[in-house]
């Protein structure tokens, strides 16, 4: 299993304008990241999940999660994905802290903080946390645990980056630092590179 956790510090946590994604806390970037994590030519990646941790106005924190194994009925373009997120935030408006709700097949919304999610992931069996960082080990040199019983979780920051306190938390949780290449990439590019590296190793 492959999982991505995107920390979107300014992304809205209540209903937003799907016709102006750039101004809505850069939801355009969020939607592109989801598309690149979940879709390949002609089909979905059913071995992949992505959790988008939204921390903007006006009901933070919220997490919208997409599960490839059960996700159906969602197109890969930005507006279609934005509509799904917007609907999830509307349906999750009255969630209490810690509550979760399925909003459609393969999509859930929860009232949960990024920190809580990464702590939960760090405690799961056969799970490794990775934090993409320019000072990390080259992904091409790292030996991943592969197979259905292994879960590799990749943590991404959005255009605002990851706060220092969050970096300290990831260090305490023993998240491994990885670098994807010599050039700084957009968050939305990162899932493609990660998938490509793991695909090469799994499929030869």
Higher model confidence: residue 199 or residue 161?
199
The predicted model gives 146-168 an average pLDDT of 83
CB 145 within 8 A of CB 92: no
Q: What is the pLDDT of residues 107-154, one digit of tens each?
A: 999 999 999 999 999 999 999 999 988 889 999 999 888 777 789 999
> What secondary structure letter does DSSP report for 184?
-
Count of domains observed in the chain: 1
The predicted model gives 65-76 an average pLDDT of 93
Confidence grade of residue 163 (pLDDT, cut at 50, 70, 90): confident
Rounded to whole angstroms, the Cα distance separating 115 from 107 reads 20
For position 141, which CATH number holds? 3.40.1280.10
Q: Is the pTM of this model over 0.85?
A: yes
In this prediction, residue 160 carries a pLDDT of: 66
In this prediction, residue 166 carries a pLDDT of: 86
In this prediction, residue 161 carries a pLDDT of: 67
In this prediction, residue 196 carries a pLDDT of: 95
The predicted model gives 65-79 an average pLDDT of 93
Residues forming beta bridges with residue 101, ordered by sequence position: 109
Confidence grade of residue 172 (pLDDT, cut at 50, 70, 90): very high
In this prediction, residue 179 carries a pLDDT of: 94
Domain of 173?
1-204
| Beta strand residue intervals within the chain, DSSP E | 2-8, 39-40, 43-44, 48-54, 62-67, 100-104, 107-110, 127-138, 151-157, 176-179
Half-sphere exposure of residue 68, counting CA atoms within 13 Å on the CB side? 20
Residues forming beta bridges with residue 8, ordered by sequence position: 54
147 by DSSP, 3-state: which? coil
Q: What is the pLDDT of residues 13-69, one digit of tens each?
A: 999 999 999 999 899 999 999 999 999 987 899 999 999 999 999 999 999 999 999
Residues 6+ apart with CB under 8 A from 113: 53, 61
Q: Which residues of 32-42 are buried (b: 16+ CB within 10 A; e: fewer)?
A: bbbbbbbbeee
Rg of the chain over all Cα atoms, to the nearest angstrom: 16
pLDDT at position 170 over 90: yes
**Which residue shows structure tokens 């605002």?**
160
Confidence grade of residue 99 (pLDDT, cut at 50, 70, 90): very high
91 by DSSP, 3-state: which? helix
């Amino acid at each position: 299993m492959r999982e991505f956790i995107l920390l979107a510090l300014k992304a809205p946590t209540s209903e937003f304008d799907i016709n102006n994604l750039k101004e809505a806390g850069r939801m355009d970037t969020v939607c592109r990241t989801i598309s690149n994590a979940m879709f390949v030519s002609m089909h979905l990646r059913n071995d992949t999940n992505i959790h988008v941790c939204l921390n903007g106005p006006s009901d933070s924190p919220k997490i919208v999660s997409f599960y490839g194994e059960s996700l159906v009925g969602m197109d890969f373009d930005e507006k279609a994905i934005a509509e799904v997120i917007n609907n999830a935030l509307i349906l999750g408006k009255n969630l209490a802290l810690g509550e979760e709700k399925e909003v459609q097949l393969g999509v859930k919304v929860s009232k949960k903080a990024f920190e809580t999610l990464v702590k939960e992931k760090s405690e799961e069996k056969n799970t490794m946390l990775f934090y993409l960082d320019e000072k990390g080990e080259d992904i091409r040199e790292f030996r991943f645990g592969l197979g259905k019983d292994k879960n590799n979780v990749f943590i991404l920051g959005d255009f605002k980056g990851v706060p220092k306190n969050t970096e300290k938390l990831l260090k305490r949780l023993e998240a491994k630092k990885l670098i994807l290449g010599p050039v700084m990439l957009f968050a939305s590019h990162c899932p493609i590179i990660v998938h490509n590296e793991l695909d090469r190793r799994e499929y030869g």
